[in-house]
Each structure stands twice: as C-alpha cells, then as structure tokens.
Structure 1
Amino acid sequence: MNYRHAFHAGNFADVVKHALLARILAYMIAKPAPLRFVDTHAGLGVYDLSGDEASRTGEWRGGIGRLAAAAVPADLGEILAPYLAAVGPAGPDGSWRTYPGSPAVAQWLLRPEDRLTLCELHPEDVETLRANMGRDRRVRVLAGDGYGALNAALPPPERRGLVLIDPPFEKPGEFDALQAALVRAYRKWPTGTYMAWYPLKDRAAVGRFVNGVAVAGLRRILQIHLLVGDPDGGPLAGSGLVVINPPFTLKAEAEALLPWLAATLGRPGEPTEWTARWLAGE
C-alpha cells in the first residue's frame, strides 16, 4: 500500500494512534525528569485538510470529523482530553483546516525541558516539517532514513522517553524492517517505551510480525488494534499498534476507549473489531 500521509491525515487510524500517543505522553510528563520523543517517520508535522491530497480522499471526515459530532462520554473525557487539546477546537462549521501529525501532538504536550528528535526521509517533506515545527529549540529535525537515525539516537541522554515508529508501508518487507528496528532498539535501550504502527490489510503479514515481536525476548508488549469496516473491502479499514513498556494504565484506558471509537468511527453496515491484549510480560 502507499500511505503518503497527506492523503490520510485525521482518518480513523490517526484518531486511535494519536489518542493513545497523547495518553502515553501525558503519563510520562507527570513525572519530573525530562524525556525524549523520537519519531522515525515524522512526515510533515501538520496537515492541511483543505489541501488537494486530504480533499481528494476526505478520509478525515470519517475520523476526526466524526468526533466533532459525537458526544464524548463522561468516563472517556479524561482519556481523550490530551489528544483533543492537541488537535484544537473545530471551526464554526464543525470542521478543521489543519490536523496535527505525531510531531505536532508531541510538541503541544511536551514541556520546556523535554526534547523531540524527528526523522524524515523525503527532502521536500523535511523542509515543510522544519517550517511547521517553527523556532522550537526543543526540536531537532533529521533528514534521512528513520531506522538508521533511530539506531544512532539511542539511548538518549534523558534516559526516559518514547519512540514512535510509523512507517508509510510503501514497499515490500516493511513488517520485517519494523520488527528488526524494534528488536535492535530495545536491546540498546530496554527501558524506553516504543510505539509501532501498522495497517491491517494483510492479516497473515500482521500475524507474522506480531508473533515475531512476541518471541524476540522483549518484555511487556501490548497489542492494540481497531477495525472500523471490512478489511477486504478496499480502503484501509483497520490499523494496529504494538507498544513496548507501556504505562501501566494504557491497557485499561484502551479497553475503555476502543469500543466507543469502534461505534463512533465504524462504517455503516460493516463489521468492527478491537483488541487490547498482552503479547508478552504483563
């Protein structure tokens, strides 16, 4: 699949990924020591929902657009609060002009003493990313392969932090590369928290990836996924996350949030499904 993110910004997969990313960061900043956020496939940082790519697909309307019209249950308000604060309020017409990618979500939530390392391969996207991050001394943008940059960046000086690996899945072998990167990074920095995103298009490939991670000797691996429609029906209908060393609250928060997201983001007449389970070492 080609997952050039400007076409898909703000879709159902972003809602799940960024809501849980925000929860992890909110938990981590509650402790006083500084931390490092590393994003290996940072993209543009901020996306124009009125631009050609997002307008062509309109996927955000089935993602963040649905949340504008939904009444968030009281028991989920605290879970969603950091994410919704980073996204910002909708306009008077109930829509958004822009949507924050993972770098902008982290930039919004992190403190002055924290640091962000953002990696992006595409040269034109690197310059857009730098512009979108502004003159923020906490942020360092690296041009080049995210997997290589990750290997060089670990362990960070802060000794605490979160690594997000969110590949575009534009080429064969991405699951193998993702698994290898997770295992290599964990061995260099076993106390870090890692969050890896993947599409639910090829269940056999997902199964091989998840099983490979589960038997690689890593501890405390949580798998989360959400399916909002028929996975064989054409457009992307499901995505998942593998989280290594998650906050102890994350599984319970995902179990509370995912059924509501499935009901809110589900496609009419199509099946929904969600999972939050330990792969290793609860």
Structure 2
Amino acid sequence: MLAYRHAFHAGNHADVLKHLVLTRVLRYMCEKDKPFTLIDTHAGAGGYSVEGRYAQKKGEYGEGIAKLYDRQDLPAPLADYVDLVRAFNPDGQLRQYPGSPAIANLLLRETDRLRAYELHSTDHRILASYLESRPQTQVRDTDGFAAIRAELPSPTRRAALLMDPSYEIKSDYAKVLAALREALERAADTVIMIWYPQLQLLESTQMLPRLKASADAMAKKGWLHARLTVAQADERGFGMLGSGMLVVNPPFTLHDELAECLPLLVERLGQYDGANYVLEQKVA
C-alpha cells in the first residue's frame, strides 16, 4: 500500500471520471452560503507532472485528459472540469495534472474545511507543502479510513467524503464498505463519493452491490452510480477495464450533468468498439 504512487496513473480515464464527479459535487455544495467539510481519505500528492518519468512510463494521461484538454466542444459540466485542469497549467500546455486536493483547493471557499489524509511519506510531504497556506485545512499522515470517526459528524454539519484507495491490497474493498457504513451511521446525510476500479476480480464485482445495499438501508437521499468502461481485459483476463463512482446522497443535479458527459467520454476515451457507460440512480 505504501509503495503505491498515483503519479504513474495521473490524468488517466479513471481520474477523468472521478474528478468530473468531484467537481460537480463541490460546485453544488458551494452554491449554499453555509460552509462544509471535505474529507479526502487517500489524497495523494495534490498534483502530478505528466512530463515526469512516472507519468511517462505508461503514458496513461494520453488516453485520458489529453483527449479532452484542447477540445472546445465539451458539454458544460465536462468543460468546467477541463478548465480546472487548464487553470493548473498557467502556460496553457498540459504539463501538470491536479489531484483531488488540488481540485478542492481551486473550488473550496476560505470558510470551507479540507481534511486530507495520505500515508505515503513523500506524497504527504508534497501535499502538506502545497496546502500549507490554505485556511481551514489539515493534512495528516494517518489512515484515512480510521479518520472517519474523528471527522464525522462535522462541526460544519454539511460534509462530503471522498474515498479512492488504490485497491492494490484486497482488504481495501472490505475497508471501503465498512467506512461507508460508519460514515452513514455517524452522519446519514454526508455526500459520499467512492471510486472503484473495474476489474475481473471477485472482490471488485462483489463490492458494488454491497455498497448499494448499505446505501439503501442507511442513506437519506439514495445513491447514484456511474461507470465508464473503456478497455478489454488481456488474454489472461487481467487489466483495468474502466472505473466507477458511487455517490451516496448525491446532488439532485448530478444525474443530468453526467448524462450529458458520459456518451462523449465513451466516444473520446473508449479504446475498443464495445466501450460503454452505465448511469443509474435510486432516490430514497
């Protein structure tokens, strides 16, 4: 787990979906005058060079954000996300990709609280330096799953929680489910965003139905699920086919915004003829 570096994957198709959803949720929450708290359980380094040796090793950003960066014909929600990436690149060239804490830093107001957790020592150090001047912010090198008990319920009452572990350790699947249940027990109206990889693994296929069942039983405002499938498994059945986001207590605007964007993401990011998306919602 501590060996995982998101820099290898920054700006790929999974980041596009995850950060599109994050952007829409934060935009919605910022519409109200009252401050809120964003809890990021696996925050990473905050930003990543797509010109560096990590990103260049696999070049995953080339099949992700690079396919959208120069487009001028994007639906408004998608264009808003891409504009944030451009804002992270002041010279106009795609050189850096913002992680979730950087997107939060671009969108959150001074009165909004940010709680970022990252266990990797190097990434934690980079993130702490990046966010050191932001008010109402704490960056901690402790377990983000375990932090839910300390963070919820939030003193701001309004809260959003982002969980996107690497899932390189199979126990992460069970931890995400336990964390969802604990978060809803402590604050049933928290907006919870869970990213997951689409893999041909038992743990991966079992987790989503279990997350939905917990949301059905405990969440105040139901759930929304979006999945983007872009690739085929290799001949041995390995490889990440795509990824998904489960949003518990989603903004009522999110479904229609994603419905605008997902067909175009399939068209732009799909790597085979069978590329597709899923968008489903259950209202409590």
Per the normalisation by structure 2, the TM-score is 0.91
Shift of 1:119: 0.4
Runs (4+) off by over 3 Å: 89-95, 231-235
Q: What secondary structure is seen at the aligned counterpart in 1 of 2:243?
A: strand
Q: Which amino acid aligns with 2:250?
A: P
Q: Which amino acid aligns with 1:175?
A: Y
Alignment of 1:46-195 (within 5 A): 46-73=47-74, 76-77=75-76, 79-88=77-86, 95-195=93-193
Q: What secondary structure is seen at the aligned counterpart in 2 of 1:169?
A: coil
Shift of 1:72: 2.3
Shift of 1:90: 8.8
Report if the CA contact (8 A) 1:11-1:60 is conserved: yes
Equivalent residue, structure 1, for 2:5? 4
CA deviations 1:60-107 (Å, max 9, x no partner) are 11111000243424xx12x12431232125979974111100000011
Q: Which deviates more, 142-151 or 1-10?
A: 1-10
Equivalent residue, structure 1, for 2:230? 228
Q: Which deviates more, 34-43 or 3-12?
A: 3-12
Q: Which amino acid aligns with 2:23?
A: A
Report if the CA contact (8 A) 2:39-2:161 is conserved: yes
CA RMSD, Structure 1 to Structure 2 (Å): 2.1
Q: What secondary structure is seen at the aligned counterpart in 2 of 1:68?
A: coil
Report if the CA contact (8 A) 1:38-1:163 is conserved: yes
Q: Give the unaligned 5+ runs of structure 1.
A: none
Q: Which amino acid aligns with 2:137?
A: V
Equivalent residue, structure 2, for 1:272? 275
Report if the CA contact (8 A) 2:88-2:97 is conserved: no
Compared with structure 1, are the counterparts of its residues 275 and 56 closer, same or farther at alpha carbon in structure 2 (3 Å cutoff)? Answer: same
Structure 2 CA distance for aligned equivalents of residues 270 and 94 of structure 1: 32
Paired positions, count: 277
Verify: 1:237 aligned to 2:238, yes or no: no
Q: Give the unaligned 5+ runs of structure 2.
A: none
Shift of 1:252: 1.4
Q: Percent identity?
A: 38
Of residues 250, 254, 261, the one that matches 2:258 is 254
Equivalent residue, structure 1, for 2:218? 218
Q: What secondary structure is seen at the aligned counterpart in 1 of 2:20?
A: helix
CA deviations 1:179-223 (Å, max 9, x no partner) are 111011111011110000000012643332121122221330211
Report if the CA contact (8 A) 1:68-1:90 is conserved: no
Q: What secondary structure is seen at the aligned counterpart in 2 of 1:147?
A: coil
Per the normalisation by structure 1, the TM-score is 0.91
Equivalent residue, structure 2, for 1:19? 20
CA deviations 1:205-258 (Å, max 9, x no partner) are 333212112222133021111011114465423001110000001111111211
Q: What secondary structure is seen at the aligned counterpart in 1 of 2:23?
A: helix
